[in-house]
């Protein structure tokens, strides 16, 4: 009979993970104090899995020129790499943290916001009491007979600051803003700063490469690696200037091998 560990083996996209998905143990993440935590943009439809400890681009400009565009979390946008650190949600007793990753198939978000500014409500009016209608017409013709609108409101009253000569305006129904086509999940990402420290196993490297002092860069699919990426491709943007240093060869809380890293650039 297979063991739980054997069933969890091979799930991660990071080679340093022994079983399950990549993990993050926060030691000193400044975003927890500065509030530089972002969770408003959906993940790109092409992303089917986001593990703790991956890095992504918070691409707010993506698709903004399209109707209903709201930006996306992806690996190819501009700007700084952001650390994926979602709230762990496991609903069965005795599950391990390594069993959690944000999997697209587990999320079915449909409505992005209850209000869609691109399809805003239209102002309407139930009655016209100041002699003209919404188009400025003072008369209406029905069956070849013209009727003049009555003006039954008084002039402005300086004693009533909120006096309204043209009452009975109301807003029509508004529509909710739907998630962009193909998106189902909205990840939580942290901006990191120089000096931030956390423990992780979400790394594409061997144990021999992860010695104290080794430097790591964001590589393909937002996973830390010892090799700096200088050319963008379909798997992600360049590494950029961000550098993480291994400061302790350690373990994860479930005793899998891990390393403590500190941002030095």
- pLDDT by residue for the chain (265 residues), tens only, comes to 678 888 999 999 999 999 999 999 999 999 999 999 999 999 999 999 999 999 999 999 887 666 667 899 999 999 999 999 999 999 999 899 999 999 999 999 999 998 887 787 777 777 777 788 778 888 989 899 898 888 877 777 777 766 666 677 777 788 899 999 899 999 999 999 999 999 999 999 999 999 999 999 999 999 999 999 999 999 999 999 999 999 999 999 999 999 999 999 9
Predicted local distance difference test score (pLDDT) of residue 171: 74
Predicted local distance difference test score (pLDDT) of residue 164: 65
Domain that holds residue 146: 121-173
Residues 88, 67, single domain; the answer is yes
Residues 259, 217, single domain; the answer is yes
Among the candidates 133, 156, 173, a domain finishes at: 173
Question: Is 204 within 8 Å of 15 (Cβ atoms)?
Answer: yes
Residues 134, 107, single domain; the answer is no
Residues 215, 110, single domain; the answer is yes
Among the candidates 150, 173, 196, a domain finishes at: 173
Residues 205, 86, single domain; the answer is yes
**Cα distances (Å, whole numbers) of residue 172 to 121, 124, 168, 169, 179:** 5, 7, 12, 10, 23
How many domains would you assign to the chain?
2
Residues 166, 189, single domain; the answer is no
Predicted local distance difference test score (pLDDT) of residue 163: 67
Among the candidates 144, 173, 202, a domain finishes at: 173
DSSP 239-253: -TT--EEEEEEEE-T
């Amino acid at each position: 009979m297979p063991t739980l560990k054997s069933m969890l083996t091979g799930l991660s996209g990071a080679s340093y993970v022994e079983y399950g998905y990549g993990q993050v143990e926060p030691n000193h993440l400044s975003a927890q104090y500065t509030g530089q935590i972002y969770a408003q943009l959906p993940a790109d439809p092409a992303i089917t899995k986001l593990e703790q400890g991956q890095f992504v681009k918070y691409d707010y400009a993506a698709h903004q020129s399209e109707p209903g565009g709201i930006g996306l979390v992806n690996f190819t946008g501009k700007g700084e790499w952001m650390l994926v650190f979602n709230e762990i949600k496991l609903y069965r007793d005795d599950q391990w943290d390594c069993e959690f990753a944000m999997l697209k198939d587990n999320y079915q978000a449909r409505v992005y916001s209850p209000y869609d500014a691109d399809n805003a409500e239209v102002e309407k009016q139930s009655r016209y009491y100041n002699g003209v209608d919404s188009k400025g017409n003072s008369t209406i013709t029905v069956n070849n007979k013209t009727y003049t609108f009555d003006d039954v409101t008084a002039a402005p009253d300086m004693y009533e600051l909120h006096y309204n000569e043209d009452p009975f305006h109301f807003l029509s129904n508004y529509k909710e803003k739907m998630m962009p086509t193909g998106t189902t999940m909205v990840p939580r990402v942290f901006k990191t700063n120089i000096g931030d420290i956390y423990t992780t196993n979400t790394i594409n490297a061997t144990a021999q490469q992860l010695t104290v002092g080794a430097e790591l860069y964001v590589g393909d699919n937002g996973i830390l690696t010892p090799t700096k990426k200088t050319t963008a491709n379909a798997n992600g943007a360049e590494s950029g200037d961000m550098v993480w240093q291994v400061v302790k060869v350690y373990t994860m809380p479930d005793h899998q091998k891990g390393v403590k890293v500190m941002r030095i650039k």
